[in-house]
């Protein structure tokens, strides 16, 4: 099972990912924690280039994220899914659609197609959107801002809306959580949805297959 965490900068994705990982490990699952950009050695170089390197155009930026994602899927995510692990990723394709497609104005559909090509169509079973006013999220960040974090409030307001619109269009894949609440309350909501998915999946595995005539 692949689960992605999405949302603006400073919404608490890594905290929530950690809480869910601990819970799933305690339930006996193999859990792979990963992130984009930078879930592989090549990805770490791409992350550095895209977040801290020389100025790049929006198209170059989109391609760098797509390259990171293609390699991440091929070398980390698919092999883990094939072993039966639960993969938790801090950002995935929807970040590209929101940040490059809407934030940078490249067009959501085009960026989505690029990412689906990069991943050969792999989508998460569940995407958790930690929704928070960007004024609050950006205010929580410490340290020097990276290229995306410095993109300005308008940019971050647009990406937040893009995430919300995508989630509303596909509620079967998305869970939208109000990330202004404390971490335990957010986690309880995420855990309930994941428990539901795991139960459904276990039931599907135990359904006897129809006897062939």
Q: Under the criterion CB under 6 A, does residue 155 sit at the interface with ligand TYD? A: no
Q: How far is the CB of 51 from ligand TYD (least distance, A)?
A: 6
Contact 35, 42 (CB under 8 A): no
Task: Give, as ranges, the residues between 92 and 121 that touch ligand TYD (CB under 6 A).
Answer: 95-96, 99-100
Q: How far apart are CA 71 and CA 130, in angstroms?
A: 26
Q: Under the criterion CB under 6 A, does residue 36 sit at the interface with ligand TYD? A: yes
Q: How far apart are CA 30 and CA 53, in angstroms?
A: 35
Written as one string, the DSSP assignment of 50-119 is: HHHSS---HHHHHHHHHHHHHHHIIIIIHHHHHHT-EEEEES-HHHHIIIIIIIS-S-HHHHHHHHHHHT
Q: How far is the CB of 26 from ligand TYD (least distance, A)?
A: 25
Q: Under the criterion CB under 6 A, does residue 163 sit at the interface with ligand TYD? A: no
User: Of the candidates 20, 114, 148, 194, which one interacts with ligand TYD according to CB under 6 A?
Assistant: 148
With respect to ligand TYD, which residue has the nearer C-beta, 53 or 196? 53
Q: How far is the CB of 28 from ligand TYD (least distance, A)?
A: 29
Contact set with ligand TYD (CB under 6 A): 9, 35-37, 51, 65, 91, 95-96, 99-100, 146, 148-149
């Amino acid at each position: 099972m692949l689960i992605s965490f999405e949302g603006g900068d400073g919404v608490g994705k890594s905290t929530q990912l950690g809480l869910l990982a601990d819970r799933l490990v305690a339930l006996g699952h193999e859990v792979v924690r990963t992130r984009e950009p930078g879930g592989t050695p090549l990805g770490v170089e791409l992350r550095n280039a895209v977040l801290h390197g020389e100025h790049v155009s929006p198209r170059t930026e989109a391609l760098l994220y797509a390259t990171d994602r293609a390699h991440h899927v091929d070398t980390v995510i698919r092999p883990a899914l094939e072993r039966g692990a639960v993969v938790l990723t801090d950002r995935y394709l929807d970040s590209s659609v929101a940040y490059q497609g809407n934030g940078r104005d490249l067009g959501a559909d085009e960026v989505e197609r690029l990412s689906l090509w990069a991943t050969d169509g792999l989508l998460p079973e569940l995407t958790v959107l930690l929704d928070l006013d960007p004024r609050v999220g950006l205010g929580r960040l410490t340290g020097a801002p990276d290229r995306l974090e410095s993109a300005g409030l308008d940019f971050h307001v647009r990406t937040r809306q893009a995430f919300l619109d995508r989630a509303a269009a596909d509620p079967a894949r998305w869970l939208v959580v109000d990330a202004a609440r404390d971490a335990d309350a957010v986690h309880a909501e995420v855990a309930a949805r994941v428990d539901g998915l795991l139960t459904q999946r276990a039931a599907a595995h135990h359904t006897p297959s129809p006897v062939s005539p």
